[in-house]
Structure 1
Amino acid sequence: MTINCKGELIDLSVPKVMGILNLTPDSFYDGGKYKDEAAILKQVEKMLEDGASFIDMGAYSSRPGAEHVDETEELKRMLPIVELILSHFPDTLISVDTFRSNVAAESLERGAAIINDISAGNLDAEMFNTIAQYQVPYIMMHLKGTPQSMQKEIIYDDLIKDLRFYFSKKMEEATSKKINDIILDPGFGFAKTTEQNYTLLNHLDLFKTFEVPLLIGLSRKSMIYKILNSNPKEALNGTTTLHTIALLKGANILRVHDVKEAVECIKLVEALKANAL
């Protein structure tokens, strides 16, 4: 299983790590941490050295209840940092976390390699056309509503069946637009209760029938620290536990804050698989 990033085929038969770089002041874990060029470059260098295959950059916080950011501000936050990173680390495969087609296009023009869309095209009707034009890998996440309303959108007839139907329709639409490299993200924490998140993790392997890569975003989320009565800063051990389960159930990409630990988790799970009787 491979994806084509700027002419390079990335083999996902061994899972890969996507390091998170938040460019927002209000993200739930590291918001506002990377305020200047030196801090940004230091963090990117660390993630690459620790084994990240991709760097995922977001300039619009999608945490529950986050404030809306207009497109001008998102572009202002995103584009200079895409250029900054590629000027210092030109081989970096940058994933841009945006639901806006114009932000996607402008970022791709500056050298980004992947688009990570929390809405799978629902929040911008031009997104699929943009992805088809640039022929880049496209991460489609499951989301109901918007980041501002999603916590009210938690009613499902059948969680797993509803998500599978959602992705089947999205994949049909994407392939009709000649989008070739599709990655699915079931959207842990987006329009789902804690209990629904664990139901989803239990049945993650059912999404392998789509025969495309699965990206999993569990890192330091509330489904971990609410169970443990802690907080995001104390949720690394819980994150690694759930990463292990996700890998055993077929995850191909782990989107994480802590790259080194995720890479180690993948190595151990791969050793387990290699020595199965």
Structure 2
Amino acid sequence: MSRTQPLHFKGAHFDFDISKDPIIYSILNLTPDSFYDGGVNTGIDQVLHRIETELTYGAKIFELGGKSSKPHFDDISADEEWNRVAPYLKAIQERFPKAVLAIDSNTDEVIERALQSGIQIINDIDGFNSQTKLDLVGKYKPSVVTMFNGRNFDEQPQTLEDTMTSFFTDSIQRLEEQGLDRENIVIDPGVGFSNQNTLEFDLIKMRATKQLRQFNAPIMIAISQKSFAKRLFDAGPDERLIPTLLFEAYMTQLGGRIIRVHNVKETQELVKTYQLFQDILN
């Protein structure tokens, strides 16, 4: 997992050295309809206990989401999305004031409310594709995750990597023009986000992790429990952990450093096992 040059992910009150080792980024879906864990996090006390437990397993960032982004998701109003998140955010900030928090949203109004409430990281599945979002980045200077959303492009297998490279070149430039540094910007190849919705596209995006290292920016591994495992093994939502972990290890070896997951304990075991394996090789 070593790199030829230092790499950090930085933001308000955090600085993670990810040159060698990845960090764990925990998903806290607060929606009734998410593809894997919709309706699971149903109470504030439950979520607070989960965060407390996952901190002991090494989670560094906790991401709140108030709207599903699964294929053909049902869109909701900005008010409904924010009202799902706000009470949890307040409770988490009171109980864990030093926690590094993110929000998963592509809604202008929700992003603004999150920034006003002290959220440090904005994860936008649409890659900050509106001037309003860019203006908010310029005003608040959050750290960000910019994702290549293949649903917004007419993808072809032969040109997909070039399309992704062009997209991230443009997205990073626009974010840097708003005052962010490269180490504030995480890039996510968007596995599972495609109009084609095929294993071929998912594998191309996973392999592209190596090519995306050219940007010298943190790369997110966001494949937890996704449907590539269904297409490989006809695996249901509760049967996707092993292929998820194996492909996460593969993408880590290629240069991914921020592992966005539902299963924090098992991911910690993956990271420790991988570190041991690297020590044996060296």
> What's the offset of the Cα at 1:272?
2.6
Name the residue aligned to 1:175: 176
Name the residue aligned to 1:272: 277
Deviations 1:114-156 (A, max 9, x none): 111100112x43111212221121100001446xxx8xx5445
SS at match of 1:61: coil
Matched AA of 1:5: G
Asked whether the equivalents of residues 164 and 189 of structure 2 are also in contact (C-alpha less than 8 Å), the reply is yes
Over aligned residues, Cα RMSD in angstroms?
1.7
Matched AA of 2:141: Q
- What is the aligned residue count? 271
After superposition, residues 22-37 of structure 1 pair within 5 angstroms as: 22-37=29-44
1:40 maps onto 2:47 in alignment = yes
Name the residue aligned to 2:217: 212
1:160 maps onto 2:161 in alignment = yes
Matched AA of 1:225: K
Name the residue aligned to 2:12: 6
Name the residue aligned to 2:252: 247
Asked whether the equivalents of residues 5 and 93 of structure 1 are also in contact (C-alpha less than 8 Å), the reply is no
1:141 maps onto 2:147 in alignment = yes
> In structure 1, what is the Cα distance between the partners aligned to 2:216 and 2:121?
19
> In structure 2, what is the Cα distance between the partners aligned to 1:36 and 1:129?
34
SS at match of 2:206: helix
Deviations 1:175-219 (A, max 9, x none): 122222111000000015211111222232010000000011110
SS at match of 1:72: helix
> In structure 2, what is the Cα distance between the partners aligned to 1:6 and 1:177?
16
Aligned match for 1:118, one of 112, 119, 125: 125
Asked whether the equivalents of residues 247 and 266 of structure 1 are also in contact (C-alpha less than 8 Å), the reply is no
Aligned match for 1:93, one of 93, 100, 113: 100
> In structure 2, what is the Cα distance between the partners aligned to 1:47 and 1:69?
29
Q: Percent identity?
A: 27
Name the residue aligned to 1:186: 189
SS at match of 1:53: strand
Give the TM-score of the pair, scaled to structure 2. 0.91
SS at match of 2:86: helix
Give the TM-score of the pair, scaled to structure 1. 0.92
After superposition, residues 14-93 of structure 1 pair within 5 angstroms as: 14-93=21-100
Name the residue aligned to 2:3: none
